[in-house]
Amino acid sequence: MSPNAEDGDWYDPAQVRKGGPMNVKVPKIEDLLERDGYLKLHEREIRRRYGNFQDFLNQLQKVEGGIENFSTGFKDMGCHVEEDNTFVCRQWAPGAQDMWLFGDFNDWNKYRYEFKKLPFGKWEIKLPPVNGECAIKHLSKIKLAIKSQTGEVVDRLDPWATFVCPPPKGSGYIYNHHFWNPPKEQVYKAKNPKPKRPKSMRVYECHVGISSWEGKVNTYVDFADNVLPRIQKLGYNAIQIMAVMEHAYYASFGYQVTSFFAASSRYGTPEELKYLVDKAHGMGIFVMLDVVHSHASKNVLDGLNMFDGSDACFFHSGARGNHELWDSRLFNYTEWEVLRFLLSNLRMWVDVYGFDGFRFDGVTSMLYHSRGLGQGFSGDYNEYFGMNTDTEALVYLMLANHLLHSLSPEMITIAEDVSGMPALCRPTAEGGGGFDYRLAMAIPDLLIKMMKEQKDEDWNMGTLIHTLTNRRWKEDCIAYAESHDQALVGDKTIAFWLMDKEMYTGMSSMWPANDIVDRGIALHKMIRLLVHGCGGEGYLNFIGNEFGHPEWLDFPRSGNNDSYHYARRQFNLVDDEELRYKYLAAFDAAMNKTEDKFGWLSSDPAYVSWKHEEDKVIVFERAGLIFVFNFHPNKSFTDYKVGAWEGGTYRIVLDTDASEFGGHNRLDHSKENATFPEGYAGRQNHMCVYSPCRTAQVYARK
């Protein structure tokens, strides 16, 4: 940023480059301190962190021509083909004594092609064309041989590899780098413009491999052709794709990354992933990648670990470079070439594949030297601004967010942070972390605890509302009732907590539902609407949970005899007109489409006017709508008095009890509810409504 000489304010040159006005004022640290006076006690630390961030930006400008130029390292490092078909490979391996390139192109002769050593721990090799063609053909297997400081020669994969495949069955477990250089006519070209950033984020968290009802690993193409239309029909405007960055162990759910630049070959080719992203864009769906920069797999032969033969290289050496609980390696975010690697990784997924945003995994682990283990995070600001905070990791996140938002004003980043660090979701110019949203992780934890330990008649309305509304002002949250964490084996989805084994025998719509199923379906809809309406500025659902997927998620592994039975999403159940799953899916779609019409997620937080423990009733207003929830198991209320800020006539626009959602149709939707001018529950007006037990309604003013 540069100072405006006329008035001393700051403007953003990125806005100017994009054709924006010169006098766009950007936030300042003073804005952050004014918004939250408690942060003034920590102003010195906030300014120190911001100073470190600015120092990196200034150094990048001086040495590399700026962070945007620095982040194009993926175009220079790794394996490439120049215009004249010369093959070139560049690597960073500061601990190496020597390096060679070998593979099927030279009959696996390990020592024939030697790299040239360059300054700053870099290495380069160039192979001239053979008969005008690249010396290494498309899909050839290649490896690096590295002589470590001890003199040992070890085999490694290119850290910048873009296509890495498992070996044929029965021939081992180590992944192979297949050089990806298809003929130009086979390179996928996007056909659709990128969508605008959604005002209201309705996110469908998904995993390509499990997206078929069959017991198999599904493909990018099948997902694009058969699952994306389902997502569009449900009213979600964004997808968050998990487990795309290549991981040798499928059961790690993609969180033990071995090849950061490779789109997982389990699901298809890089060009097929481009097709998926482009097809989503054609449907107006914003596409986000679940990115893992918090740690890396410990795999040596097909991962980053000990790449140059040393314990360090990409990671901290010793204890600081190891995550004990995750059994993985931790990046050294102060190392220049590590920053190039990680920032270029983000840039590559944007430039090459067209991703629109990122959900950063494991942010809490990054932010603290304790990795967040054994900490309750009470909200005491000293927990966030003391010696436990890993400033190096925080500054990396600031750099990453600064880069991504400078690449596109439409970019969205989401932090998986349970700690609630203040300003994490404020612009870097304010001294914040730069994220657009954080995940509201306390909500599903509370919901599961309530369902696990209490009957619904004992649920505390005050505790529920406190958790839903307890978030920092002007730091947006993505709320969710359950994500992939709650779907994994060892836990249960909300539907399973509510109905359990009854889901195997009691979901037929050909006869009346039994009491357990009736209760489960009713509460499933209410819980999701409550979280959607009150929990945040965005909403997230995990694939299949919208229709109450009946079973947990468990990937094939030795512990289950490599079974795919639970590594799938049974869309065949929701397609069956004789089963009740269709009701939950229909409600989910109606909920999203009602939000799309009224925009409560992009409105100010809900004003909760009523939470009554004995009645089990919650009432709140948002975006001009009135939400009424009756969680009581058997008490229905006639002429129940609810507050309304705006006077007028209200009608029902969404009802969990409607017959098309598997309800009992106890309300007359043609009836209009007029308000009375007498104030009630802190509102200017009130109206009287019929509120059946275990139902929720949304009222809109005519």
Summarised one tens digit per residue, pLDDT across range 273-306 is: 999 999 999 999 999 999 999 999 999 999 999 9
Residue 693 has pLDDT above 60, yes or no: yes
Q: What is the CATH number of the domain that holds 625?
A: 2.60.40.1180
Burial 219-237 (b: 16+ CB within 10 A, else e): bbbbbbeebbebbbebbbb
Is residue 346 assigned to a domain? no
Q: How confident is the model at residue 490 (pLDDT cuts 50, 70, 90)?
A: confident
Question: Of 70, 95, 121, which residue is a domain's last?
Answer: 70
* pTM given for the model: 0.95
Average pLDDT over residues 333-341: 98
Contact criterion met (CB below 8 Å) for 482 and 545: yes
Higher pLDDT, 486 or 411: 411
Say yes or no: 81 and 177 in one domain: yes
pLDDT of the residue at 458: 96
Question: Two tokens at 322?
Answer: 């190891």
Say yes or no: 59 and 121 in one domain: no
Residue 17 has pLDDT above 50, yes or no: no
Say yes or no: 96 and 63 in one domain: no
Question: Of 39, 70, 101, which residue is a domain's last?
Answer: 70
Contact criterion met (CB below 8 Å) for 124 and 118: yes
Q: How confident is the model at residue 25 (pLDDT cuts 50, 70, 90)?
A: low
pLDDT digits (tens, 9 = 90+) for 204-261: 999 999 999 999 999 999 999 999 999 999 999 999 999 999 999 999 999 999 999 9
Contact criterion met (CB below 8 Å) for 76 and 160: no
The Cα 163–Cα 186 span in angstroms is: 15
pLDDT digits (tens, 9 = 90+) for 111-157: 999 999 999 999 999 999 999 999 999 999 999 999 999 999 999 99
Contact criterion met (CB below 8 Å) for 565 and 212: no
Say yes or no: 137 and 152 in one domain: yes
Say yes or no: 66 and 89 in one domain: no
pLDDT of the residue at 378: 85
- The alpha carbon of residue 258 and the mean position of all alpha carbons in its chain are separated, in whole angstroms, by 19
Q: Give the three-state DSSP class for 166.
A: coil
Q: How confident is the model at residue 14 (pLDDT cuts 50, 70, 90)?
A: very low
Nearest CA to 289 among 207, 232, 344?
Answer: 207
Is residue 93 assigned to a domain? yes
The Cα 455–Cα 415 span in angstroms is: 33
Range of the domain at 150: 77-186
Phi, psi of 288 (to 5 degrees): -115, 150
- Which residues lie below 8 Å from residue 500, measured CB to CB, with a gap of 6+? 492, 516
Say yes or no: 56 and 105 in one domain: no
pLDDT of the residue at 379: 84
Say yes or no: 8 and 104 in one domain: no
Is residue 485 assigned to a domain? no
Structurally, the chain folds into a number of domains equal to 3
Question: Of 132, 154, 186, which residue is a domain's last?
Answer: 186
What are the residue numbers of the active site? 361, 416
Say yes or no: 111 and 168 in one domain: yes
Q: How confident is the model at residue 23 (pLDDT cuts 50, 70, 90)?
A: low
Q: What is the CATH number of the domain that holds 131?
A: 2.60.40.10
Residue 373 has pLDDT above 70, yes or no: yes
Is residue 459 assigned to a domain? no
Say yes or no: 653 and 694 in one domain: yes
* Cα Rg of the chain, angstroms: 27
Say yes or no: 133 and 177 in one domain: yes
Neighbours of 432 (CB within 10 A): 24
Say yes or no: 84 and 181 in one domain: yes
Is residue 241 assigned to a domain? no
Is residue 122 assigned to a domain? yes
Is residue 449 assigned to a domain? no
Is residue 173 assigned to a domain? yes
Q: Give the three-state DSSP class for 173.
A: coil
Say yes or no: 66 and 83 in one domain: no
The Cα 292–Cα 246 span in angstroms is: 11
